[in-house]
Amino acid sequence: MGKCRAKRCSGFSLIEVLVASTILAILVILLSSATGSLLNILRNAHAKIDQYSAARAGFDQICSTLSQATLNTYWDYDNPANPTDYVRKSDLHFLITPSANGHAVFFQAPLARTGNAVSTGLLNAVGFWVEFSGDSQWKPTHVQEQFRFRLMQGIQPSESLAVFATADGSWTNAVKTIPDVGFPIASNVLALVLWPRLPVAQDPEGNDLSGNFEYDSRQGSAIQKAQLPPSVQVTMIVMDETSAARLASGSTAPAAITAAFANRFQDVTNFDADLEAVRVALTAAKVNHLVLSSSVTLREAKWSK
């Protein structure tokens, strides 16, 4: 006790304690803010991964199904009553046609889907397209309707094939019947761009089969008649749900999206420029997006001039 009186015991002053407490509080606030930001980033990343994974699954489904397209092409007289030549013929139909924000594709493939069971080897009529619509035909009654761009798939049962009953492309209307045949396979898909083309070595510009992306094996050009294109370049543009919810405007398609795709993908020679213009427009509108692209080889194609 005498020593403590003779020499004052060392310790922290009140000011030092207050300064240390203030620094500690600031560090805790900074750490909490950084942790919160990191959690938001992780949540957004997980949301994007979930959204884009559904889109990737839909994209893979298009590529896988499209690769199975068939026409069962055969050679026959040009005019059975008065034949002068052999020509390619097919009772089936492969069709790429303009659609909202890109293109739609319709064809037959041996998916073996029937109304009651699965039977090996049977043909189905198949279609893929993008549309902006509500979800009232699929959602539970207590959930509010959402209007979104959606990638749609239609599979017409084997026993109901309408392709044999029409000479034009009107059979595709039956494939798009919702919800009996057509149904959504991914949300927030803004565009589906389909480019039928020959191998790059044979056709560097990609316009030998089609200059405007369209392909019609029944009523198209002579080079398209009754045969499949060797390959189709499939490109899909997707946005995340956060952007979709921010742009939502009820039953009207968002103006920013409509403007971004206006007059695009109508000429194959402008494909790269159109794609870049769309990406620039979406970025300017603060739309988080992803572009998926792949060249699909049609296994049943036996293309010739």
Please say whether the beta carbons of 147 and 251 come within 8 A: yes
Q: Is residue 7 part of a domain?
A: no
Q: Is residue 138 part of a domain?
A: yes
Q: Is residue 15 part of a domain?
A: no
Contacts of 272 (CB under 8 A, 6+ apart): none
Question: Which comes out higher in pLDDT, residue 74 or 13?
Answer: 74
How far apart, in whole angstroms, are the C-alpha atoms of residue 274 and residue 56?
22
Question: Which comes out higher in pLDDT, residue 29 or 218?
Answer: 218
Q: Is residue 92 part of a domain?
A: yes
Please tell me the predicted confidence (pLDDT) of residue 39.
62
End-to-end CA distance of the chain: 111
Please say whether the beta carbons of 56 and 49 come within 8 A: no
Lowest mean pLDDT among 134-143, 176-185, 241-250, 265-274: 134-143
Report which of 45, 53, 50, 237 is spatially closest to residue 151, judged by C-alpha positions: 237
Q: Is residue 133 part of a domain?
A: yes
Full domain range(s) for residue 65: 42-77+85-297
Alpha carbon separation from 184 to 11, 132, 188, 266, 293 (Å, rounded): 72, 11, 11, 25, 20
Please tell me the predicted confidence (pLDDT) of residue 97.
96
Report which of 176, 124, 169 is spatially closest to residue 153, judged by C-alpha positions: 176
Q: Is residue 9 part of a domain?
A: no
Q: Is residue 33 part of a domain?
A: no
Confidence of residue 115 (pLDDT cuts 50, 70, 90): confident
- Mean of per-residue pLDDT scores for the chain: 87
Please tell me the predicted confidence (pLDDT) of residue 38.
67
Number of domains in the chain: 1
Residue-wise pLDDT for 143-152, tens only, equals: 888 999 999 9
Q: Is the pTM of this model over 0.95?
A: no
Task: Report, as an integer, the average pLDDT of 242-270.
Answer: 93
Residue 181 scores a pLDDT above 90: no
Report which of 240, 236, 248 is spatially closest to residue 288, judged by C-alpha positions: 240
Residue 53 scores a pLDDT above 90: no
Q: Could you give the percent of the chain with pLDDT greater than 70?
A: 89
Q: Which amino acid is at 167?
A: A
Q: How far is CA 15 from the centre of its chain?
A: 64
Please tell me the predicted confidence (pLDDT) of residue 27.
86
Residue 116 scores a pLDDT above 80: no
Task: Report, as an integer, the average pLDDT of 190-215.
Answer: 93
Q: Is residue 49 part of a domain?
A: yes
Cis preceding linkage at 140, omega within 30: no
Task: Report, as an integer, the average pLDDT of 280-294.
Answer: 95
Residue-wise pLDDT for 28-52, tens only, equals: 888 877 777 666 665 665 556 666 8
Please tell me the predicted confidence (pLDDT) of residue 139.
76
